[in-house]
Structure 1
């Protein structure tokens, strides 16, 4: 058995391991291979770079041997996934939307990222020891049926990431081409690149993410050198005192939400790692990689956006076109070499999109037994189609998508993480039976978690500050309100869950 592929390396003619864990006989395989789709799938499944495993647990004897390079693999994966153009564009929101100074935007983003990345680091520790995908882990807290709410919300996150990433890439390519190439064409380029990598699964995914950060670091350092002198580090944050506080709080919350959005996928990429992998390493290198990638990218975006309001040149004009165009304009002074760097930065968006697309295929399989029978590769293809269509429809509303979508991600992710921590520390004392991952008679019923989750959401709603709704508590902060949904929803969920879980264990027993 090749552990990282999840497919047999010997006797492939006798047995083929399918993504849902069932066995496909030689005769059945021969019958299916008569069809074009069947031939493609079987040839891909037997490729050395392909993974046909789906959501079934990776047993300890199937895992990779422990090696020091696994630590750097964790670190580079998360740097690559976050040191991308879409997170540079996220940094635009500080000066462009919240009217923060560069210093305020930088401080809010740094601390928001550092806190939000803790959630991903925590969930990542379950990957090696359990061999279970993240949304399977949710069953141990939320229960068999309620966990599917988390699955649906996670699909919204991962498909939303795909939409944002492809829009940023499409805007950049269109501006690079002087409008001769449409934004839709750029969206398709990024979508196809992500589809190719995710179809093969974990082996190619890890190879790609191990090195994807290298060209991104290079071009962003070039961008820092050429655009840095135009950063406006002197202009103050706009508004009165209460408004400034509200805007700083909203930027902090936005960056916290953006990084915590990776928590529902944090364990997906470590299931093949040896079960003896130290938990501290999974936590620390995940947290550090996600934080470093986001901080560098968001700081670049905040600097460019601050200069976009003061520099009387192509920056201001580009900002009127689209956020992606402003990214490209940062390279203007370098001529043809700047165009080359912008293309590299545009293609690098795929590094952020690949993990989300991969995890979306797994999440689809977690929706039920029938969905689990559909190969992950088919679900990945479906996910790419969905977010590509959404990106084409929402290509002119990137800032609105950023501001509203990212906050919603943070609400449920942080509430779920709070409940998971309490389940692990208070009730399980760190002891799990991972063999029960697919036995609903052994898993929690989930009533306590469901009620606590709902209570947390109520708290988040009364504190949210979004275009479509401003909660009564959010309204009283500053002139325009501030998003405090996280800080109300998480404590409410954390206070509600323990007594309800105690009652659930006492009267139901699981």
Structure 2
């Protein structure tokens, strides 16, 4: 939901345009995640361990570091929003955003530290109260959604197209960045589990999670122009906007806001758990340090960063997500080439037992060069606040972010 707030508020897109871009981005971005997930039962390896077979022993470490940035970055965003909601709910803001961030970080650490079984049990039931709360939010805030307003009025057609591309890229990146952990939660499945089943349930789960929430977030910011109370709350923080939307319910609305804030913990547990394992994949020395230590390090890092960046969430979100989408798209293209051309077509196969044997893994020179070439294309096509590439600049006043798709297509075209 947080991603889609940018549709009307940042990119000046009307409700329909924002919804179409967001849902399409969610669907297309979820397909690579579902594809990567199929390697979980097949290999028995975590996603970043599997990356060693694709990128090589040393280049894979670059991918691991980038994936850690993604995982910790998501936790930063969720921690800030949860802290904002808790602060907005508290009487006269007595509970600061900083304290709220610390609370959710500590709870996340506790659940993720006790291993996969505890995490899986928590996630099995945590979605239900969230679903109820979000349905109530849609019901109470829905009448204030501006379904027919046009915030892009006055902008040129090319600028509108560029904004559509950029918002689509943001939603696409929001989904595809889950690819870095796609296989992690299927490694305990039987090796004979049909790949189409893993693909289908992963794709369905992601799309069902993303699409309605994107539309709900778009609805909230679509009403900013016509409702001064919502606009004032949004200017305070994204979390305050959610609390304001619940305001007609009085004290019950405050309770639902707290439930929603604590529900963000469920979104933080998976990245925290996976991040602890990814730290160990960095090398043999890192491998010897217990996961509980790495989980603790990860929580400290994102809690400190969340506290430091709590006043700049929108800027962090729009720049961070799109930037992370670039490398994931390039990496996905390399995985496709490795799997379909070298392993399947040339019948080289996979030796899954060699996951920790450097001598039986690729050197990775070709993969590294391909990765850098993909980045060169992405730089030409990216559109960020701090940089607009020469190709992206051709689309409208603010540019159109086509970096993630270009990086992927450019690499596939090399085949």
Fold equivalence (TM over 0.5): yes
Query: Alignment partner for residue 56 of structure 2, among 143, 158, 174?
Result: 143
Separation of aligned partners in 2, 1:378 and 1:486: 34
Q: Where does residue 264 of structure 1 map in the other structure?
A: 180
Report how far residue 487 of structure 1 moved: 2.5
Match of 1:316 in 2: 231
Q: From 3, 19, 25, give the equivalent of 1:106.
A: 19
Q: Please list every run of at least 4 consecutive aligned residues from structure 1 whose deviation after the TM superposition is greater than 6 angstroms.
A: none
* Higher-RCO chain (CA-CA 8 Å, sequence separation at least 6): 2
Residue 194, structure 1, aligned to residue 194, structure 2: no
The answer to whether the aligner puts 1:419 opposite 2:337 as a matched pair is no
Structure 1 segment 340-379 matched on structure 2, within 5 A: 340-379=255-294
Normalised by the length of structure 2, the TM-score is 0.97
Q: Does 1:440 align with 2:358?
A: yes
Query: Residues of 1 paired with 2:353 and 2:317: CA distance?
Result: 39
Matching of residues 165-314 of structure 1 within 5 Å: 165-177=78-90, 178-238=92-152, 239-312=155-228, 314=229
Partners of 2:325 and 2:291 lie apart in 1 by: 26
Higher share in helix: 2
C-alpha contact (below 8 Å) 1:104/1:237 kept by paired residues: no
Aligned to 1:91: 4
Q: Please say if residues 365 and 376 of structure 1, whose CA atoms lie closer than 8 Å, have aligned partners that are also in contact.
A: yes
Structure (1 or 2) with the larger CA radius of gyration: 1
Counterpart pick for 1:483 among 372, 386, 401: 401
Query: Is 1:462 the equivalent of 2:380?
Result: yes
Contact 1:165 1:352 (C-alpha < 8 Å) held by counterparts: yes
SS class of match (1:468): coil
Cα separation, 2, equivalents of 1:477 and 1:107? 19
Mapped contact 1:93–1:302 kept (Cα < 8 A)? yes
**How high is the TM-score relative to the length of structure 1?**
0.79
Gaps of 5+ in 1: 1-87, 499-510
User: What's the offset of the Cα at 1:493?
Assistant: 2.2
Counterparts of residues 47-58 of structure 1 (less than 5 Å)? none
Q: Please give the residue correspondences for 1:376-387 in structure 2 after superposition, counting only pairs within 5 Å.
A: 376-387=291-302
In the alignment of these two chains, the number of paired residues is 409
CA contact (8 A) 1:89 1:324 kept: no
SS in 2 for 1:349: helix
More displaced 10-residue stretch of structure 1: 236-245 or 374-383: 236-245
Mark the runs of 5 or more structure 2 residues left unpaired by the alignment: none
Q: 1:98-125, CA deviations, whole angstroms, 9 ceiling, x for partnerless residues? A: 0110111111000000000011101100
Q: CA deviation at 1:237?
A: 4.5
In structure 2, C-alpha distance between the alignment counterparts of 1:281 and 1:398, rounded to whole Å = 37
User: How large is the Cα RMSD of the aligned pairs?
Assistant: 1.0
The corresponding residue for 1:48 is: none
CA distance in 2, matches of 1:277, 1:189: 39
Q: 1:404 aligns with which of 315, 319, 322?
A: 319
Task: Give, in whole Å, the separation in 1 of the partners of 2:259 and 2:402.
Answer: 37
Q: Secondary structure at the match of 2:310?
A: coil
Aligned ranges for residues 121-140 of structure 1 at < 5 Å?
121-140=34-53
Deviation of the 1:495 alpha carbon? 3.3
Mapped to 1, the partners of 2:194 and 2:223 lie a distance apart of 44
Aligned position for 1:25: none
| In 1, Cα distance between equivalents of 2:178 and 2:206 | 9
Contact in 1 for aligned 2:329/2:405 (Cα 8 Å): no
- Cα deviation, 1:259-291, whole Å, max 9, x if unaligned, reads 111001111111111111111111111111111
